Amino acid sequence: MAVLQVFLLKKLTGATISSIFILRVQTTGGRKGDTMFFDTPPHLISISGVSGSGKTTLINQLEVTFGGGRIITHTSRPCRPTESGHDYHFCTTEQIHALTDALWVKENYGNWYAVTASAVYQPLRRIGIGFLPTITSHHNTLHRRLPDVICTHIHLLAPSVEELRGRLQKRGSDTATVKTRLREINRIDSKALADRHIKTVTPNTAEVTFVEVMGIIRDAQK
């Protein structure tokens, strides 16, 4: 496993003291990676929601607005017809468990997922902000492991059952998968609603959702 460490350095420039934030990646074995510097703390946006809630659409919009920032995670599940290596690193279960800088490795619906420190590091280094699609329970994991990074946790609440069923069927999910995902709506959304660290966004059009999320991001950066 790996840890992202953030250090605050006070710099005296003339009569003004300014802050420089130093971000360093370190594996549990003690090996240190590259170090980078920011005038403001790096900002990580983690986005959760049931399958079909609009996470990918939202992250695509944020990428356009900020000029990048998508954090690409690893998964052992098969690639869908509409997906590419820009969405996930598609790999085997063995490859996921062999990752040396994973922040976490978790099984979900029979498939394995992982996010690496280097994947998080890449957009933070380039533009100072990153967008991570994740599951609800990982918001708190990020909060614990990155205490000095601005971590904004956003959960997209599910649309109606019929709307969600249509989205899942449109992307090619089989009947058994659709039934399983629909049964999970209340459990997943209730968990997000009960967590004070998570900002929940009610279902709406992609445009309205984007505007609401941008407001959450701006508020977090104040």
- Residue 108: predicted pLDDT: 84
- Residue 188: predicted pLDDT: 94
Q: What does each C-alpha distance from 97 to 19, 27, 100, 112 come to in angstroms? A: 38, 15, 8, 9
- CA separation for the pair 85, 101 (Å, rounded): 19
- Residue 42: predicted pLDDT: 80
- Residue 20: predicted pLDDT: 41
| pLDDT digits 0-9 by tens, 151-192 | 899 999 999 999 999 999 998 888 998 999 999 999 999 999
Average pLDDT by stretches of 10, the chain with 222 residues? 44 40 44 50 89 93 94 91 84 94 86 89 86 82 74 94 94 89 94 93 95 93 78
Please, which residues bridge with residue 129 across strands? 43
Q: What is the pTM of this model?
A: 0.80
3-state secondary structure the chain: CEEEEEEEEEEEECCEEEEEEEEEEEECCCCEEEEEEECCCCEEEEEEECCCCCHHHHHHHHHHHHCCCECCEEECCCCCCCCCCCCEEECCHHHHHCCCCEEEEEEECCEEEEEEHHHHHHHHHHHCEEEEECCCHHHHHHHHHCCCCEEEEEEECCCCHHHHHHHHHHCCCCHHHHHHHHHCHHHHHHHHHCCCCEEEECCCCHHHHHHHHHHHHHHHHC
- Residue 206: predicted pLDDT: 94
> Pairing mode, if any, of strands 73-75 and 111-116?
antiparallel
- Residue 143: predicted pLDDT: 72
Q: CA angle, corner 65, sides to 219 and 173, nearest 5?
A: 100
Q: CA angle, corner 121, sides to 43 and 27, nearest 5?
A: 120
- Residue 148: predicted pLDDT: 67
- Residue 128: predicted pLDDT: 86
Residue 2, both tokens:
């790996």
Residue 116, both tokens:
């690496």
Instruction: Provide the 10 A C-beta neighbour count for residue 171.
Output: 14
- Residue 39: predicted pLDDT: 53
**Domains of the chain: residue spans and CATH:** 2-221 (3.40.50.300)
- Residue 173: predicted pLDDT: 86
